Structure 1
Amino acid sequence: MPVNEYGQQIGQALPGWTPRPRPTRETLEGQYCRLEPLAADRHAAGLFAAYQPAGGALWTYLGIGPFADEAEYARYVRSVEHSADPLFFAVIDRVDDTPVGTLSLQRQDSESGVIEIGWVAFSPRMQHTRLSTEAHALLLALVFDRLGYRRCEWKCDSLNGPSRHAAERLGFVYEGTFRSAHVYKQRSRDTDWLAITDADWPGCRSALEAWLSPDNFDTEGHQRSTLAEYRGRSRHQE
């Protein structure tokens, strides 16, 4: 650990560090899905239809929804589609060009190179599929490989077990719970914090690429190895 002229331990030096660029409205192409900048005219109707099978439960841990009808949802999308932070993306299934979910990059601290994936709302069609994994992988690759951020965060209601499980599956590391951190929908929220750092990312990236490879799936679409197994192999190779 470095020590300054006063004998105090200090953080590792980052010579040449400069603020990171903020993400911009662009399309990110994957094998199974495509991320497009969210736009009401292009996406609202399809997203509202995709969300309907989940009912109101989809919105329990988000500060928005449920929405009474398509028009109400479209008004919400119009209110956020030009936002730079959060910067929203629609997830498009490449099989039929149908919008099936949304997510965002938010709390963009370009000075320190820290950013967060948030506002994740995936329809039942996306959940537990390659689309879900690849949507996050596309954002993580943008954050670390192209924009050069040092840390990507994930925060969720501590009672939202599926969200925390999804984050840990992707390689996010649990860092603690902030008690009474937020009020939404007239109730208190304890918030779990998780993160992937630039030191974690190479192993996470290798695991994601291996898991998403068509070779990892049999003719019926079942995975041959889990993402956790690939991440374990990556650690052993380091």
Structure 2
Amino acid sequence: MSHRLNEFGQPIGWTVADWSARPRPGREPMAGRHCQVLALDLTRHADDLWAALCPQGNQASWTYLPYGPFPDQDAFDQWLSSAALKDDPLFHAIVDQRTGKAVGIASFLRIDPANGVIEVGHIHFSQSLRRSAAATEAMALMMARVFDELGYRRYEWKCDALNQPSRAAAERLGFRFEGIFRQAIVTKGRNRDTAWYSVIDSDWPALKQRFARWIGPANFDEAGRQRQSLSAL
């Protein structure tokens, strides 16, 4: 049932019983089989992330982000230092369990404890991380923190409507498309229409089970190739 009627015969939303503001996400590590998701730390992660995200010829990976590319590591480190101090967005480094090196970034942002809404964004994966088990696991770990640990009701993914890889990733991870906000932002001197996606708390149990099945050892052969895709699951 999506709504009920009040005493005036008007449709209103269902009662959210015993609701209270949710905790804000902390900086505790999130660990899985393939990766760790750690609060961004300039001292620990700067060199790895510079090597992973800013190699020569990788400028195209910054097109849909509101910052970058950076001319040198000093400029990158200045941005990283500022990002690491923030609580919203709360930036994390994605660290490969095999190598111990940071190979990507993601953040919690637009954190709304009163309404139980939080967004994942500022996602920037190195070439080696994209479409890997570690990449999927990192997103699953962050989703688990939002729903299992903190009890939020809604998890959002927003991106430039022209960013097809980001839109495909959202759908692959189980986010539901909600529409296009036209002329939502001016970024880097150009218009951005924003595509909105979400997962809500009632979606999470089935998604959690699918992530566990996909990431599990039984889904990979001896060469590390997936037997069944996440989309198929």
1:42 is aligned, of 38, 41, 44, to 44
Report deviation, 1:54: 5.8
For the pair 1:127 / 2:130, whether they are aligned, the reply is: yes
The equivalent of 2:197 in structure 1 is 194
For the pair 1:106 / 2:109, whether they are aligned, the reply is: yes
Write out per-residue CA displacement over residues 38-97 of structure 1, whole angstroms, 9 at most, x where no aligned residue. Answer: 011111111010111661011000001001111111110111111111000000001010
Q: RMSD across aligned C-alpha pairs, in angstroms?
A: 0.9
Within 2, Cα distance between the matches of 1:228 and 1:128? 12
Within 2, Cα distance between the matches of 1:8 and 1:166? 39
The equivalent of 1:117 in structure 2 is 120
The equivalent of 1:9 in structure 2 is 11
Unaligned runs of 5+ in 1: 231-238
1:208 is aligned, of 192, 211, 229, to 211
The equivalent of 2:173 in structure 1 is 170
Within 2, Cα distance between the matches of 1:11 and 1:109? 20
Within 2, Cα distance between the matches of 1:191 and 1:113? 22
What does 1:138-157 correspond to in 2, within 5 Å?
A: 138-157=141-160
- Partner amino acid, structure 2, of 1:213: G
Point out the structure with the larger helix share.
1
Retained in 2: the 8 A contact 1:118–1:155?
yes
Retained in 2: the 8 A contact 1:54–1:124?
no
- Partner amino acid, structure 1, of 2:215: L
TM-score, length-scaled by structure 2: 0.97
- Partner amino acid, structure 1, of 2:31: E
SS in 2 for 1:180: strand
Within 2, Cα distance between the matches of 1:64 and 1:9? 44
1:222 is aligned, of 205, 222, 225, to 225
For the pair 1:30 / 2:32, whether they are aligned, the reply is: yes
Within 1, Cα distance between the matches of 2:57 and 2:108? 24
Within 2, Cα distance between the matches of 1:179 and 1:54? 31
> Which of structure 1's runs of 4+ aligned residues deviate more than 2 A?
none
Unaligned runs of 5+ in 2: none
Q: 1:130 to 1:53 in 2, by over 3 A?
A: farther
Within 1, Cα distance between the matches of 2:96 and 2:56? 17
SS in 1 for 2:11: coil
Within 2, Cα distance between the matches of 1:128 and 1:23? 26
Within 1, Cα distance between the matches of 2:14 and 2:159? 29
Within 1, Cα distance between the matches of 2:163 and 2:97? 29
- Aligned residues with identical type, % of pairs: 46
SS in 2 for 1:179: strand
